[in-house]
């Protein structure tokens, strides 16, 4: 194989073992490639040394105790809350927005439960029936599209800004998108679960509010 | 970007461990060998089954098998041993809480490391925010690492640790997972939810940036003169 200096970066990036052999041969007669190859390898060797780590004899005991305590207290399905916990250290404004969303979600849930008790004798109050489900899905779809339009409007503002605030907004939106994706996946598996739908609505509302905040900065 | 004091003694010939250094340099992907991350490893399946059944022995076996590596990665992402231990503990708790959602689409170890990486980033973010609140200023850079035990090439490693702080988060993650922890690109892709090609490209960019940061000044001057 005829390897030249121009092949070097390609081989560093995704070369085959044969490419590497060819590069080694070429480096024997090329000082620049020889230097680069040595530097490239030294990086790997130095990185390999970073892998040596001292023991922490008490760590497993600590973890085991924590696992037992968690088992005893009952594991909670908190994949959503784990993410939201990270916002505990956010600014008061964001915490207020999050609290508002939770209050809103609770209000919707309360209203729905009350309405369900009054108007339904059906014991499966939490399950949406298919015509209602269609309505919900249609509304959700329209709402989602509206938020996507908002997201498109806010995109340049988010991408171009380098401030810590913009970075925080970007991260928050990533967390919200992740939560929305997971909720949608769960709702897809269990489409009649009204509780999931309400959580999804709360996440969409939070995303909408966040995007509006981003656009506010622009103004 | 300043790189004072980061010059790496490139001329130093380092004897590589037999097949070790080179195997991480030359591509060894897709050759059917078992990945260090547990892909195709019967232990991985057995441990996942134990954890799914709620048996603490599964978690203990996972810790014995991957605990050191988890601590090591967390330490490089967070900077201190104590933060790293907190992150590993939190990861085990999250694994236990979320076992029901493990679908086996990746290996159990890959899934666990994905949780670990996210936990470390969450911890770091919250720590940075606490700092911002306390001092009213931003500190987006990861902390410098605590002093470590002596190794064969201390200057080289120290320079590398300092330079790594200047990589992007994504580049640092991929570099640490591939070069330090020895995961394959296919495993890293699963952990970071990217493609294998993206993992390879990111590693290349990371190493190129490190190379540039650590390049001796004379080489830089020579390059500029051309």
Chain A residues touching residue B21 (CB < 8 angstroms): 41, 44-45, 48
**Residue A123 located in a structural domain:** yes
Q: Helices B185-192 and B196-214 sit at what angle, rounded to 10 degrees?
A: 100
Separation of first and last alpha carbons in chain A = 60
A153/A149 Cα distance (integer angstroms):
6
**pLDDT, mean over chain B:** 77
Pair A38, A103 in one domain: no
A155/A214 Cα distance (integer angstroms):
9
Higher pLDDT, A215 or B28: A215
**Residue A175 located in a structural domain:** yes
Residue A127's DSSP bridge partners are A193
Tell me the whole-structure pTM to 2 decimals. 0.58
Pair A102, A179 in one domain: yes
- pLDDT above 70 covers a percentage of chain B that reads 66
Q: Are B99 and B93 in contact (CB under 8 A)?
A: no
What is the structure's pLDDT at B30?
43
User: Residues of B100-129 as b/e, b for ≥16 C-beta within 10 angstroms?
Assistant: eebeeebbbbbbbbbbbbbbbbbbbbbbbb
- pLDDT above 90 covers a percentage of chain A that reads 12
Pair A44, A117 in one domain: no
Pair A90, A148 in one domain: yes
Pair A36, A92 in one domain: no
Distance from CA of A211 to the nearest CA of B (A): 21
Distance from CA of B46 to the nearest CA of A (A): 19
Nearest to A126, CA basis, from A198, A180, A51: A198
ipTM for the complex shown: 0.74
Q: Are B101 and A79 in contact (CB under 8 A)?
A: yes
- pLDDT above 90 covers a percentage of chain B that reads 42
B169/B223 Cα distance (integer angstroms):
28
Higher pLDDT, B203 or B4: B203
The two three-digit tokens of residue B179, written as one number: 């070069």
**Residue A213 located in a structural domain:** yes
**Per-window interface: B 35-74 vs A, CB < 8 A:** 54, 56, 59-60, 63-64, 67-69, 71-72
A14-18 average pLDDT score: 87
Higher pLDDT, A95 or A24: A24
Range of the domain at A190: 79-218
Chain segment A190-214, per-residue pLDDT in tens: 777 777 787 788 888 888 888 888 8
Distance from CA of B179 to the nearest CA of A (A): 6
Distance from CA of A39 to the nearest CA of B (A): 6
Residue B142 DSSP code: P
Higher pLDDT, A175 or B209: B209
Chain segment B37-89, per-residue pLDDT in tens: 655 576 888 999 999 898 999 999 999 999 999 999 999 899 888 899 999 99
Sequence-separated (6 or more) residues with CB below 8 Å from residue B150: none
What is the structure's pLDDT at A129?
57
**Residue A55 located in a structural domain:** no
Nearest to B109, CA basis, from B37, B33, B61: B37
A27/A15 Cα distance (integer angstroms):
15
Q: Helices B108-135 and B42-52 sit at what angle, rounded to 10 degrees?
A: 70
Number of domains in chain A: 2
- Hey, is the C-beta of B17 within 8 angstroms of any chain A C-beta? yes
A11-20, A56-65, A98-107, B105-114: which range is least confident on average? A98-107
Nearest-Cα residue of chain B relative to residue A90: B129
Do the Cβ atoms of A45 and B156 come within 8 Å? yes
Burial of A125 (0-12, 13-18, 19+ CB in 10 A): middle
Chain A residues touching residue B160 (CB < 8 angstroms): 43, 46-47, 50
Pair A115, A24 in one domain: no
Do the Cβ atoms of A48 and B20 come within 8 Å? yes
What is the structure's pLDDT at B73?
92
Nearest-Cα residue of chain A relative to residue B128: A89
Do the Cβ atoms of A41 and B210 come within 8 Å? no
Kindly list the domain boundaries of chain B, sorted by start residue: 37-146, 149-226
CA count, 13 A, side-chain hemisphere, B173: 24
Pair A132, A185 in one domain: yes
What would be the CATH architecture of the domain defined by B37-146? Orthogonal Bundle (1.10)
pLDDT above 80: residue B207? yes
What is the structure's pLDDT at B97?
92
Nearest-Cα residue of chain B relative to residue A83: B122
Nearest to B188, CA basis, from B172, B164, B209: B172
What would be the CATH architecture of the domain defined by B149-226? Orthogonal Bundle (1.10)
What is the structure's pLDDT at B95?
95
What is the structure's pLDDT at A84?
55
Chain A residues touching residue B14 (CB < 8 angstroms): 41-42, 45-46
Smallest Cβ–Cβ distance between B126 and the set A39, A41, A86 belongs to A86
CA count, 13 A, side-chain hemisphere, A99: 8
**Residue A54 located in a structural domain:** no
Mutation target among B8, B19, B21, B118 for the A interface, most CBs of A within 10 A: B21
pLDDT above 60: residue B123? yes
Distance from CA of B156 to the nearest CA of A (A): 6
Chain segment A37-66, per-residue pLDDT in tens: 988 888 888 888 776 566 777 899 999 999
Chain segment B135-173, per-residue pLDDT in tens: 655 445 555 555 554 455 667 777 888 889 899 999 999
């Amino acid at each position: 194989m005829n390897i030249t200096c121009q092949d070097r970066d390609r081989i560093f990036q995704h070369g085959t073992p044969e490419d590497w052999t060819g590069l080694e041969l070429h480096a024997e007669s090329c000082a620049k490639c020889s230097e680069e190859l040595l530097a490239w390898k030294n990086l790997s060797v130095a990185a390999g040394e970073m892998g040596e780590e001292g023991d922490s004899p008490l760590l497993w005991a600590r973890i085991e105790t924590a696992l037992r305590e968690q088992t005893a207290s009952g594991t909670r399905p908190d994949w959503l809350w784990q993410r939201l916990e990270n916002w505990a250290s956010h600014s008061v404004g964001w915490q207020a927005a999050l609290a508002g969303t939770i209050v809103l979600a609770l209000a919707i849930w309360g209203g729905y439960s009350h309405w369900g008790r009054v108007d339904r004798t059906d014991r499966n109050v939490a399950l949406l029936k298919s015509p209602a489900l269609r309505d919900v899905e249609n509304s959700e779809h329209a709402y989602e599209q509206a938020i996507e339009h908002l997201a498109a409007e806010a995109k340049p503002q988010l991408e171009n800004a380098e401030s810590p605030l913009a970075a925080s907004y970007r991260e928050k939106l990533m967390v919200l998108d992740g939560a929305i994706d997971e909720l949608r996946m769960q709702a897809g598996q269990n489409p009649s679960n009204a509780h999931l739908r309400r959580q999804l609505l709360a996440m969409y509302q939070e995303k909408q509010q966040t995007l509006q905040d981003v656009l506010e900065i622009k103004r | 970007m300043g790189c004072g004091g980061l010059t790496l003694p490139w001329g130093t010939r380092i004897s590589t461990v037999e097949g070790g250094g080179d195997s991480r340099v030359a591509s060894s992907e897709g050759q059917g060998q078992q990945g260090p991350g547990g892909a195709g490893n019967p232990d991985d399946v057995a441990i996942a089954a134990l954890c799914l059944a709620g048996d603490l022995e599964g978690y203990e076996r996972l810790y014995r098998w991957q605990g050191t590596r988890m601590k090591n990665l967390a330490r490089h992402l967070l900077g201190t041993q104590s933060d790293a231990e907190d992150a590993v503990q939190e990861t085990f708790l999250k694994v236990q809480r979320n076992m029901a959602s493990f679908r086996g689409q990746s290996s159990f170890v890959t899934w666990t490391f994905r949780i670990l990486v996210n936990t470390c980033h969450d911890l770091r973010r919250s720590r940075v925010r606490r700092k911002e609140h306390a001092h009213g200023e931003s500190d987006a850079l990861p902390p410098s690492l605590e002093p470590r035990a002596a190794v064969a090439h201390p200057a080289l490693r120290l320079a590398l640790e300092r330079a790594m702080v200047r990589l992007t988060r994504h580049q640092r993650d991929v570099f640490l997972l591939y070069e330090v922890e020895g995961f394959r690109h296919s495993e890293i892709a699963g952990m970071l939810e990217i493609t294998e090609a993206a993992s390879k490209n990111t590693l290349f960019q990371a190493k190129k940036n490190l190379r540039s940061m650590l390049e001796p000044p004379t080489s830089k001057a020579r390059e500029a003169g051309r």
